[in-house]
Structure 1
Amino acid sequence: MTPNHARRRTEGFSLLELLVAMMIIAVIATLGFSQYRKHSAQANYIKAQDDLKIVGEGLDQYYLKHNAYPDFGSYDAMVDGNSPLVKENLIKVGMSATDPFKQPYEGRSSRNTYELKCAGDPSNPDDAGPIIRTPNGFTANTAPKGEPAGDAGAKK
């Protein structure tokens, strides 16, 4: 009876061993998911900066050609297919009027200036606050806390 009992014992895992293995997997998955969310938030913030940069550079190029910025009352009008920025190929067709955080971009321009704005991450306003672009450049956080945006991997 003893040899048979020993053989059955080596054929599978005990309930305790399975629970320990499942706990280890759960801890690793939790850590991985939190890192995924952090990097996803950074990517969304950088995408919003890039979108505002593209439209801002289009407005700057328009200014160089016409000696004035076009009059727009909203960001939607700037990226619309009938916009002079799109018609003159200063920005790409199909630019989204919604930021990566599912909020509308804000923007306006007049003959002498413009302002483009992304409200930032509504779920994390301390680390990913508003981004504002004017003819003078950006005034905003650079990226959510973590690795700096653009300097990831740069040697100092």
Structure 2
Amino acid sequence: MSLNRTHRARRGFTLLELLVVMFILVLLAGTVTALVMKRTEDAKHARAKADIASFETAIDLYKLDNQAYPPSLEALRAKPSGDELPNWNGPYVKKAVPADPWGRAYLYQAPGEHNQDSYDLFSLGKDGQEGGAGNDADILNWD
């Protein structure tokens, strides 16, 4: 008889044990999701910084050839119509100017407000607003 009782006690997990395991799994899933989301935002910031560095190189090459900064980022891809640029040696970028990692255009201004003797080039970051910190921080070529 005692053998039969022991056998019944080992048939499965109790509801409490299952709830504890489920709670632990939910905590782990939440932690992993938060870490992945942070890494995704970090990667977007890194891509925006790399894009800006690449544009800076192309803009500097444009200036070397034409003795002036381009009127827009699109001028890196196609010679501006109506401008007399006998030394234009582009395209200075291989593909069309991409959007920033959040789907908005990079902002370019020559002469710059912050770099008055050259140009400002930046992305407004995740929030699309000037300023911000952390994931919402702007990616700038003057900091």
TM-score in same-fold range (> 0.5): yes
2:106 alignment partner in structure 1? 105
Structure number with higher strand proportion: 1
CA distance in 2, matches of 1:29, 1:78: 47
Return the match for 1:92 from 91, 94, 98: 94
The CA RMSD over aligned residues, in Å, is: 2.7
Q: In structure 2, what residue type is equivalent to 1:17?
A: E
Return the match for 1:126 from 105, 127, 133: 133
CA distance in 1, matches of 2:133, 2:16: 43
Structure 1 unaligned runs (5+)? Answer: 140-156
Between the aligned residues of both structures, percent identity stands at 25
Q: CA deviation at 1:63?
A: 1.1
Deviations 1:101-120 (A, max 9, x none): 2333211336x732211002
CA distance in 1, matches of 2:78, 2:119: 15
* Inter-CA distance 109–78: structure 2 relative to 1 (3 Å threshold): farther
CA contact (8 A) 2:122 2:140 kept: yes
SS at match of 2:133: coil
TM-score, scaled relative to structure 2: 0.73
CA distance in 2, matches of 1:43, 1:58: 23
Q: Does 1:39 align with 2:32?
A: no
CA contact (8 A) 2:102 2:126 kept: yes
1:115 alignment partner in structure 2? 120
* Inter-CA distance 122–43: structure 2 relative to 1 (3 Å threshold): same
TM-score, scaled relative to structure 1: 0.68
SS at match of 1:28: helix
**Which has more radius of gyration?**
2
CA distance in 2, matches of 1:31, 1:89: 46
Structure 2 unaligned runs (5+)? Answer: 81-88, 112-116
CA distance in 1, matches of 2:79, 2:2: 88
Q: Does 1:29 align with 2:29?
A: yes
